[in-house]
Amino acid sequence: MTKFSLLMCIYEKENPKHLKQCLDSLGEATILPNEIVIVKDGPLTDELEDVLSSYSLLDESQNYIDINLVALPENVTLGPARAAGVEAAKNEWIAIMDTDDVCRKDRFAKQIKMIEQNPELGLIGGQITEFTDTPKQTITIRNVPTNYAEILKFVKIRNPFNHMTVMFKKQAVIEAGNYRFFPWFEDYDLWTRMIKNGIMCANLPDILVDARIDNKTFGRRRGMSYIRAEWNMQKQLRKLKLVSTAEFVRNVAIRQPIRMLPSGLLASIYRIFARKGNKQNND
Protein backbone atom coordinates (compact mmCIF):
# COMPACT_ATOMS: atom_id res chain seq x y z
CA MET A 1 0.00 0.00 0.00
CA THR A 2 1.18 3.51 -0.81
CA LYS A 3 2.82 5.23 2.16
CA PHE A 4 1.98 8.85 2.84
CA SER A 5 2.55 11.68 5.29
CA LEU A 6 -0.18 13.93 6.70
CA LEU A 7 0.79 17.62 6.93
CA MET A 8 -0.93 20.13 9.21
CA CYS A 9 0.06 23.63 10.36
CA ILE A 10 -1.00 25.32 13.57
CA TYR A 11 -0.49 28.74 15.15
CA GLU A 12 -1.26 30.31 18.51
CA LYS A 13 -4.78 31.60 17.82
CA GLU A 14 -6.29 28.19 17.10
CA ASN A 15 -8.78 26.57 19.47
CA PRO A 16 -7.39 23.61 21.49
CA LYS A 17 -10.80 21.88 21.47
CA HIS A 18 -10.97 22.07 17.69
CA LEU A 19 -7.43 20.72 17.42
CA LYS A 20 -8.29 17.76 19.64
CA GLN A 21 -11.44 17.02 17.62
CA CYS A 22 -9.37 17.08 14.44
CA LEU A 23 -6.73 14.73 15.82
CA ASP A 24 -9.35 12.40 17.29
CA SER A 25 -11.03 12.09 13.88
CA LEU A 26 -7.82 10.60 12.47
CA GLY A 27 -8.15 7.71 14.88
CA GLU A 28 -11.36 6.69 13.12
CA ALA A 29 -9.71 6.50 9.68
CA THR A 30 -9.70 3.11 7.97
CA ILE A 31 -6.24 3.85 6.53
CA LEU A 32 -3.72 5.91 8.47
CA PRO A 33 -0.70 7.94 7.38
CA ASN A 34 2.74 6.54 8.13
CA GLU A 35 3.78 9.92 9.49
CA ILE A 36 2.03 13.05 10.77
CA VAL A 37 3.94 16.29 10.24
CA ILE A 38 2.68 19.15 12.41
CA VAL A 39 4.29 22.53 11.76
CA LYS A 40 4.10 24.88 14.74
CA ASP A 41 4.00 28.27 13.03
CA GLY A 42 5.59 30.23 15.85
CA PRO A 43 5.15 29.77 19.62
CA LEU A 44 1.86 28.20 20.71
CA THR A 45 -0.29 28.59 23.80
CA ASP A 46 0.16 26.17 26.68
CA GLU A 47 -3.26 24.68 25.94
CA LEU A 48 -2.32 23.87 22.34
CA GLU A 49 1.02 22.46 23.44
CA ASP A 50 -0.78 20.22 25.95
CA VAL A 51 -2.98 18.77 23.21
CA LEU A 52 0.01 18.06 20.98
CA SER A 53 2.20 16.61 23.72
CA SER A 54 -0.51 14.19 24.84
CA TYR A 55 -1.40 13.01 21.32
CA SER A 56 -0.46 9.60 19.98
CA LEU A 57 -1.89 7.32 17.31
CA LEU A 58 -1.52 3.58 16.83
CA ASP A 59 -1.60 1.88 13.46
CA GLU A 60 -3.35 -1.43 12.75
CA SER A 61 -0.30 -3.32 14.07
CA GLN A 62 -0.48 -1.34 17.31
CA ASN A 63 2.70 0.56 16.51
CA TYR A 64 2.90 4.26 17.23
CA ILE A 65 2.71 6.45 14.14
CA ASP A 66 5.60 8.90 13.89
CA ILE A 67 4.56 12.42 14.97
CA ASN A 68 7.04 14.83 13.39
CA LEU A 69 6.78 18.24 15.10
CA VAL A 70 8.42 21.07 13.16
CA ALA A 71 8.77 24.11 15.43
CA LEU A 72 9.32 27.44 13.68
CA PRO A 73 10.80 30.13 15.95
CA GLU A 74 8.34 32.78 14.75
CA ASN A 75 5.08 32.99 12.82
CA VAL A 76 5.87 32.95 9.11
CA THR A 77 2.24 32.58 7.87
CA LEU A 78 0.62 29.60 6.18
CA GLY A 79 2.47 29.42 2.86
CA PRO A 80 6.03 29.31 4.23
CA ALA A 81 4.88 27.09 7.13
CA ARG A 82 3.44 24.52 4.74
CA ALA A 83 6.59 24.74 2.62
CA ALA A 84 8.62 23.78 5.69
CA GLY A 85 6.26 20.86 6.30
CA VAL A 86 6.61 19.62 2.73
CA GLU A 87 10.39 19.69 3.06
CA ALA A 88 10.20 17.78 6.36
CA ALA A 89 7.85 15.03 5.13
CA LYS A 90 9.49 11.62 4.70
CA ASN A 91 7.09 10.16 2.12
CA GLU A 92 6.56 11.01 -1.54
CA TRP A 93 2.80 11.34 -1.11
CA ILE A 94 1.62 14.05 1.29
CA ALA A 95 -1.95 14.71 2.46
CA ILE A 96 -3.03 18.15 3.70
CA MET A 97 -5.52 18.88 6.46
CA ASP A 98 -6.43 21.90 8.59
CA THR A 99 -6.22 21.52 12.36
CA ASP A 100 -9.82 22.61 12.99
CA ASP A 101 -11.47 20.28 10.46
CA VAL A 102 -12.80 16.72 10.80
CA CYS A 103 -11.52 13.89 8.62
CA ARG A 104 -14.01 11.42 7.16
CA LYS A 105 -13.02 7.89 8.14
CA ASP A 106 -12.78 6.69 4.53
CA ARG A 107 -10.97 9.75 3.16
CA PHE A 108 -7.49 8.26 2.87
CA ALA A 109 -8.74 4.85 1.74
CA LYS A 110 -10.57 6.42 -1.20
CA GLN A 111 -7.67 8.63 -2.17
CA ILE A 112 -5.06 5.87 -1.95
CA LYS A 113 -7.26 3.62 -4.10
CA MET A 114 -7.55 6.39 -6.71
CA ILE A 115 -3.81 7.02 -6.63
CA GLU A 116 -2.92 3.35 -7.05
CA GLN A 117 -5.37 2.93 -9.91
CA ASN A 118 -4.14 6.09 -11.67
CA PRO A 119 -0.35 6.31 -11.30
CA GLU A 120 -0.20 9.35 -13.61
CA LEU A 121 -1.85 11.53 -10.95
CA GLY A 122 0.22 14.02 -8.98
CA LEU A 123 -2.57 15.91 -7.21
CA ILE A 124 -5.95 14.69 -5.97
CA GLY A 125 -8.66 16.24 -3.79
CA GLY A 126 -12.34 15.85 -3.07
CA GLN A 127 -15.51 17.49 -1.81
CA ILE A 128 -16.20 19.04 1.61
CA THR A 129 -19.08 19.99 3.84
CA GLU A 130 -18.94 23.18 5.90
CA PHE A 131 -20.15 23.45 9.49
CA THR A 132 -19.87 25.77 12.50
CA ASP A 133 -20.73 23.76 15.63
CA THR A 134 -20.91 20.07 14.71
CA PRO A 135 -20.16 18.14 11.49
CA LYS A 136 -23.59 16.55 11.78
CA GLN A 137 -25.18 19.92 11.02
CA THR A 138 -23.98 20.76 7.53
CA ILE A 139 -24.43 24.34 6.38
CA THR A 140 -23.18 23.97 2.83
CA ILE A 141 -21.32 21.61 0.52
CA ARG A 142 -18.47 22.90 -1.59
CA ASN A 143 -18.36 20.98 -4.84
CA VAL A 144 -15.34 21.16 -7.12
CA PRO A 145 -14.86 19.56 -10.56
CA THR A 146 -13.72 15.96 -10.69
CA ASN A 147 -11.92 15.38 -14.00
CA TYR A 148 -8.88 17.03 -15.51
CA ALA A 149 -10.67 18.81 -18.35
CA GLU A 150 -13.21 20.34 -15.96
CA ILE A 151 -10.44 21.41 -13.57
CA LEU A 152 -8.62 23.24 -16.38
CA LYS A 153 -11.80 25.22 -17.10
CA PHE A 154 -12.61 25.85 -13.43
CA VAL A 155 -9.12 27.10 -12.53
CA LYS A 156 -9.72 30.14 -14.75
CA ILE A 157 -12.52 31.26 -12.44
CA ARG A 158 -11.97 29.80 -8.97
CA ASN A 159 -9.79 27.47 -6.96
CA PRO A 160 -10.53 23.97 -8.34
CA PHE A 161 -9.50 22.16 -5.15
CA ASN A 162 -10.64 22.12 -1.55
CA HIS A 163 -7.17 22.54 -0.06
CA MET A 164 -7.92 20.57 3.15
CA THR A 165 -8.68 17.46 1.07
CA VAL A 166 -5.67 17.34 -1.23
CA MET A 167 -2.95 14.74 -1.53
CA PHE A 168 0.02 15.42 -3.76
CA LYS A 169 3.42 14.12 -4.78
CA LYS A 170 6.18 15.88 -2.87
CA GLN A 171 8.48 16.02 -5.90
CA ALA A 172 5.77 17.62 -8.05
CA VAL A 173 5.28 20.33 -5.42
CA ILE A 174 9.01 20.95 -5.07
CA GLU A 175 9.44 21.21 -8.83
CA ALA A 176 6.61 23.76 -8.98
CA GLY A 177 8.36 25.90 -6.38
CA ASN A 178 6.60 24.63 -3.25
CA TYR A 179 4.20 26.72 -1.19
CA ARG A 180 5.23 30.36 -0.82
CA PHE A 181 4.11 33.61 0.81
CA PHE A 182 0.91 34.44 -1.09
CA PRO A 183 -1.68 35.65 1.48
CA TRP A 184 -5.17 34.07 1.25
CA PHE A 185 -4.30 32.21 -1.95
CA GLU A 186 -1.33 30.02 -0.97
CA ASP A 187 -2.97 26.82 -2.20
CA TYR A 188 -4.59 28.25 -5.37
CA ASP A 189 -1.22 29.73 -6.29
CA LEU A 190 0.52 26.36 -5.89
CA TRP A 191 -2.09 24.43 -7.86
CA THR A 192 -1.78 26.83 -10.82
CA ARG A 193 1.98 26.32 -10.94
CA MET A 194 1.57 22.54 -10.74
CA ILE A 195 -1.03 22.58 -13.51
CA LYS A 196 1.26 24.76 -15.63
CA ASN A 197 3.99 22.12 -15.11
CA GLY A 198 1.66 19.51 -16.60
CA ILE A 199 0.80 17.65 -13.39
CA MET A 200 -2.25 15.45 -13.86
CA CYS A 201 -4.93 16.08 -11.25
CA ALA A 202 -8.44 15.07 -10.24
CA ASN A 203 -11.04 15.37 -7.49
CA LEU A 204 -13.06 12.53 -6.07
CA PRO A 205 -16.83 13.10 -6.10
CA ASP A 206 -16.97 12.01 -2.45
CA ILE A 207 -17.01 14.20 0.65
CA LEU A 208 -13.65 13.68 2.34
CA VAL A 209 -13.51 16.36 5.04
CA ASP A 210 -15.97 18.29 7.19
CA ALA A 211 -14.55 21.83 7.24
CA ARG A 212 -15.16 24.28 10.06
CA ILE A 213 -16.18 27.86 9.31
CA ASP A 214 -17.03 30.66 11.73
CA ASN A 215 -18.74 34.04 11.73
CA LYS A 216 -15.49 35.75 10.73
CA THR A 217 -14.90 33.61 7.65
CA PHE A 218 -16.67 35.91 5.21
CA GLY A 219 -15.49 39.07 6.92
CA ARG A 220 -11.93 38.04 6.05
CA ARG A 221 -12.87 37.81 2.37
CA ARG A 222 -13.64 41.48 1.87
CA GLY A 223 -11.93 44.87 2.07
CA MET A 224 -8.88 46.37 0.40
CA SER A 225 -6.38 43.82 1.72
CA TYR A 226 -8.34 40.96 0.21
CA ILE A 227 -8.88 42.90 -3.02
CA ARG A 228 -5.12 43.36 -3.38
CA ALA A 229 -4.53 39.67 -2.66
CA GLU A 230 -7.15 38.64 -5.22
CA TRP A 231 -5.63 41.04 -7.75
CA ASN A 232 -2.26 39.32 -7.26
CA MET A 233 -3.90 35.92 -7.82
CA GLN A 234 -5.49 37.10 -11.05
CA LYS A 235 -2.12 38.46 -12.21
CA GLN A 236 -0.62 35.05 -11.43
CA LEU A 237 -3.22 33.35 -13.64
CA ARG A 238 -2.43 35.79 -16.44
CA LYS A 239 1.33 35.38 -16.00
CA LEU A 240 1.01 31.61 -16.33
CA LYS A 241 -1.25 32.08 -19.37
CA LEU A 242 -4.06 30.14 -17.73
CA VAL A 243 -6.43 33.01 -18.55
CA SER A 244 -6.56 35.38 -21.50
CA THR A 245 -6.48 39.16 -21.16
CA ALA A 246 -10.25 39.24 -21.64
CA GLU A 247 -10.76 36.60 -18.96
CA PHE A 248 -8.45 38.50 -16.61
CA VAL A 249 -10.46 41.71 -17.06
CA ARG A 250 -13.74 39.82 -16.56
CA ASN A 251 -12.55 38.15 -13.36
CA VAL A 252 -11.31 41.40 -11.84
CA ALA A 253 -14.44 43.31 -12.86
CA ILE A 254 -16.70 40.72 -11.23
CA ARG A 255 -14.73 40.16 -8.05
CA GLN A 256 -13.53 43.53 -6.85
CA PRO A 257 -16.94 45.23 -6.38
CA ILE A 258 -18.20 42.15 -4.48
CA ARG A 259 -15.33 42.43 -1.98
CA MET A 260 -16.64 45.81 -0.81
CA LEU A 261 -20.04 44.43 0.20
CA PRO A 262 -21.02 43.93 3.86
CA SER A 263 -19.90 40.52 5.15
CA GLY A 264 -23.48 39.30 5.64
CA LEU A 265 -24.41 40.02 2.02
CA LEU A 266 -21.12 38.58 0.81
CA ALA A 267 -21.86 35.37 2.73
CA SER A 268 -25.24 35.06 1.00
CA ILE A 269 -23.71 35.54 -2.45
CA TYR A 270 -20.91 33.11 -1.62
CA ARG A 271 -23.34 30.38 -0.60
CA ILE A 272 -25.62 30.88 -3.59
CA PHE A 273 -23.01 30.96 -6.33
CA ALA A 274 -19.99 29.17 -4.89
CA ARG A 275 -21.63 26.48 -2.82
CA LYS A 276 -24.37 23.92 -3.06
CA GLY A 277 -26.72 24.34 -0.12
CA ASN A 278 -27.67 21.36 1.98
CA LYS A 279 -30.19 21.81 4.78
CA GLN A 280 -30.18 18.18 5.84
CA ASN A 281 -27.94 16.85 8.56
CA ASN A 282 -24.95 14.97 7.23
CA ASP A 283 -24.25 11.75 9.16
Domains and their CATH numbers in the chain: 4-277 (3.90.550.10)
- Band (pLDDT 50/70/90 cuts) for residue 60 is confident
Residue 255: its pLDDT value, please? Answer: 72
Judged by DSSP in three states, 222 sits in coil
| Cβ-based neighbours of 41, under 8 Å, separated by 6 or more | 9, 10, 11, 72, 75, 76, 77, 78, 81
- Kindly report, residue by residue over 171-218, the tens digit of the pLDDT: 999 999 999 999 999 999 999 999 999 999 999 999 999 999 876 655
Percent of the chain with pLDDT over 90: 76
Strand partners, 6: 36, 95
Mean pLDDT of the chain: 90
Residue 135: its pLDDT value, please? Answer: 87
Kind and range of the H or E run holding 169: strand 167-169
| DSSP codes, 17-41 | HHHHHHHHHHTT-SS--SEEEEEEE
Residue 279 pLDDT exceeds 50: no
Burial class (CB in 10 A: 0-12, 13-18, 19+), 26: buried
Percent of the chain with pLDDT over 70: 87
Residue 99 pLDDT exceeds 70: yes
Provide the whole-model pTM. 0.90
Residue 277 pLDDT exceeds 60: no
Measured between alpha carbons, how far is residue 58 from residues 81, 115, 176, 282 in Å?
26, 24, 34, 28
- Band (pLDDT 50/70/90 cuts) for residue 268 is low
Residue 23 pLDDT exceeds 80: yes
Regarding beta strands 93-96 and 4-10, do their DSSP bridges make them parallel or antiparallel, or are they unpaired? parallel
| DSSP codes, 64-78 | BPEEEEEEESS---H
Residue 258: its pLDDT value, please? Answer: 64
Residue 231 pLDDT exceeds 80: yes
- Kindly report, residue by residue over 133-161, the tens digit of the pLDDT: 888 888 889 999 999 999 999 999 999 99
